[in-house]
Structure 1
Amino acid sequence: MSTAYLSRLTLRQLRIFLTVCQQESYSRAAEELALTQPAVSAQVRNLEELIGEPLFDYVGRRLSLTPAGQAMRRAGQDLMQRLGQAEMELAELRGVMQGTLSLAVESSAQYFMPDRIAAFCRRHPEVEVRMRVMNHGEALKSLREERHDLTIMGLVPDDRRLSFVPFRQNRLVAVARPDHPLAGVGDVSLNRFLAFPLLVREPGSGSRRVFEALYQSRGLRPRRCQQLGSLESIKAGVRAGLGLAVLPREACDDDLEAGRLVTLIVEGLPLKRSWCVVHPRARQLTPVAEAFFQALTVPERG
């Protein structure tokens, strides 16, 4: 069959299709696009009729791409990237940095990234930044599927297809409420720390994986864990006396300064890691993404 039939494809159809791919849900895609779910479903159905192949299938209750859908997603992402690049290059000819920057940010980085984004936008007011906060597992999936221009993450997988640069220290500290029995104690052994209830993130969390690697390397395990859904809920749980936690220092700064939480001196802590900016090595950065990459990783001269 000739591929000329794809010339009847519209950018609107393509954007809707790519949003469904990203959200893995018709309803969430409709919410993201400010459309009704039937409108989103109709556009995808029209695209399937044009191509002559189903684009999505259900595996259990989960929406997944068919082989035709995977091919269209790759082509659609490439086309949108090229159009975005052309838009930015045309803006550069007018002496303006313009376009959209799409960032995937691990949840712990949400406490400092808005300041970095704001500084960049002050220098380039015509740039629109879209930041999506996710856990480590979601960030890895986003990288594999090349959903975003740049990804901010702590644990970068050993993969030669990825290019990354560390740009900021990430310290994981043990925290407790001020009246906890371990508060104010000198050096606390890791074994004693783990004897108290521990509040943890979901299994896809990078900070959870780092701390697990520490105690597992010493043949230890927590006596009791309670899994809570976010950094904020864990901090609230620690303040309420549900247990102890190991969290990024920057996520706790306000509570530590206000005296609602205290840090503990625990064997093996703090864990010092780095925040990295990551992108697929084979993907050419847009001018806006390259400018933001440089803003994060190259110290300003002053």
Structure 2
Amino acid sequence: MDVSADALASFAVFARHLNFTRAAEELRISQPALHVKVRKLSETLGRPLYHREGRRLTLTADGEAVARFAREHDERLAHFLSEFAGAPYGRPVVLAAGQGAYLYLLGDTIRGMLADEPTRLRLINCDHRQMLAAVRSGRAHVGVSVLDVLPDDLDALELATFPQVLFVPAGHRLARRRSVRLRDLNGESLVVPPHQRPQRVLLEQGLRSAGTEWTVAVEAEGWPLITHFVTLGVGLAIVNGCVPAPRGLVAKPVTDLPSVTYHVVHQPSATDDARVATLLERFPWPA
């Protein structure tokens, strides 16, 4: 196979954007020229590297592997050239995580990394599916998220586990309970994530199994907005136990919902990179 370094570098940029227009602009070539590069690389390797899902482009598993190799190749070359020139290697380590992890788990980790060297860390904000794709393709070195199923192709380590809790106003009938069950929410209005979000799916399954009748007060994206609606009196909400209860609300463990575990994921060889090892050392691992 005759695979050029230029083709790999171009595909790495395309894989980062998953958009031909933006990738072509970064590469300073025309969009048709980038289409040709990606198509020829796919033909040379004999595998489709991406596919279209509606209006979105998504890498195939082979595309993720090629993108990861392309980025590793580019990093090795950049590292060699830095050493050859006697200059420090300046590329950052990339962390991908969602809103909850950034807000409630990783603050001290990020502050510590940035205090040592502000250019040493780059962050990607994404959901758990995007996080896995970023780590698999090499776009991110490390990812953090709550996972429904642990990936068998990546190292996955438990970072922190929390119960699911009910946020309820201090004067509510459930506020004096030490804990609650889903059947205790019969007749309540709940602030919930949008449809198809993992937490919404799990919650609806649990409420259905408990025979609980409930209504949607409002759908909201992200724990801060969900919590804000509860403080306004719109409804009650079940959130991850890492979310702090604001003034006027109390948190009651929901005993018939499973605990939530955040995992750190990375490629098996990632810890060979000193930058990644340094980042992992700063994580708030359980004692």
What pairs up with 1:176-187 in 2 under 5 angstroms?
A: 176-184=168-176
TM-score by length of 1: 0.71
Give SS of 1:229's match.
Answer: coil
Counterpart of 1:277?
264
Q: Distance in 2 between matches of 1:7 and 1:266?
A: 54
Distance 1:87 1:209, change over 3 A: farther
Structure 2: runs of 5 or more not aligned: none
Give SS of 1:183's match.
Answer: coil
Give SS of 1:277's match.
Answer: strand
Q: Distance in 2 between matches of 1:154 and 1:62?
A: 24
2:31 is equivalent to residue 41 of structure 1 = yes
Distance 1:52 1:228, change over 3 A: closer
Q: Distance in 2 between matches of 1:288 and 1:295?
A: 11
Counterpart of 2:17?
20
Contact 1:176 1:264 in 2 (8 A): yes
Counterpart of 1:293?
280
How many pairs were matched up?
280
Q: Distance in 2 between matches of 1:118 and 1:42?
A: 42
2:76 is equivalent to residue 77 of structure 1 = no
2:55 is equivalent to residue 61 of structure 1 = yes
Distance 1:297 1:222, change over 3 A: same
Q: CA deviation at 1:241?
A: 2.0
Contact 1:105 1:132 in 2 (8 A): yes
What pairs up with 1:197-216 in 2 under 5 angstroms?
A: 197-203=189-195, 205-208=197-200, 211=203, 215=207
2:228 is equivalent to residue 243 of structure 1 = no
Contact 1:156 1:276 in 2 (8 A): no
Task: Give the letter for the 2:273 counterpart.
Answer: T
Give SS of 2:282's match.
Answer: helix
Distance 1:83 1:266, change over 3 A: closer
TM-score by length of 2: 0.74
Give SS of 1:157's match.
Answer: coil
- Percent identity of equivalent pairs: 16
Contact 2:112 2:282 in 1 (8 A): no
Distance 1:37 1:298, change over 3 A: closer
Q: CA deviation at 1:109?
A: 0.7
> For residues 267-295 of structure 1, what are the alpha-carbon distances to aligned partners after superposition, in whole Å with 9 as ceiling and x for unaligned?
51796443221124366653211221233
Q: Judge which range, 91-100 or 243-252, deviates more.
A: 91-100
Give SS of 1:99's match.
Answer: coil
Task: Give the letter for the 2:109 counterpart.
Answer: R
Q: 1:120 aligns with which of 97, 100, 113?
A: 113
Give SS of 1:268's match.
Answer: coil
Distance 1:287 1:210, change over 3 A: farther
Distance 1:96 1:293, change over 3 A: farther
Q: CA deviation at 1:81?
A: 1.8
Q: CA deviation at 1:147?
A: 3.7
Distance 1:51 1:152, change over 3 A: closer
> For residues 53-110 of structure 1, what are the alpha-carbon distances to aligned partners after superposition, in whole Å with 9 as ceiling and x for unaligned?
5976645433345x7xx75653332121233255457778979674321112133111
Q: Distance in 1 between matches of 2:171 and 2:234?
A: 12
Q: Distance in 1 between matches of 2:71 and 2:143?
A: 18
Structure 1: runs of 5 or more not aligned: none
Counterpart of 1:161?
153
Q: Distance in 1 between matches of 2:83 and 2:26?
A: 36
Q: CA deviation at 1:145?
A: 4.4
> For residues 208-261 of structure 1, what are the alpha-carbon distances to aligned partners after superposition, in whole Å with 9 as ceiling and x for unaligned?
455556556x534452234322223212221222211111244335xx2xx1x4
Task: Give the letter for the 1:224 counterpart.
Answer: T
Counterpart of 1:109?
101
Task: Give the letter for the 2:31 counterpart.
Answer: S
2:230 is equivalent to residue 233 of structure 1 = no
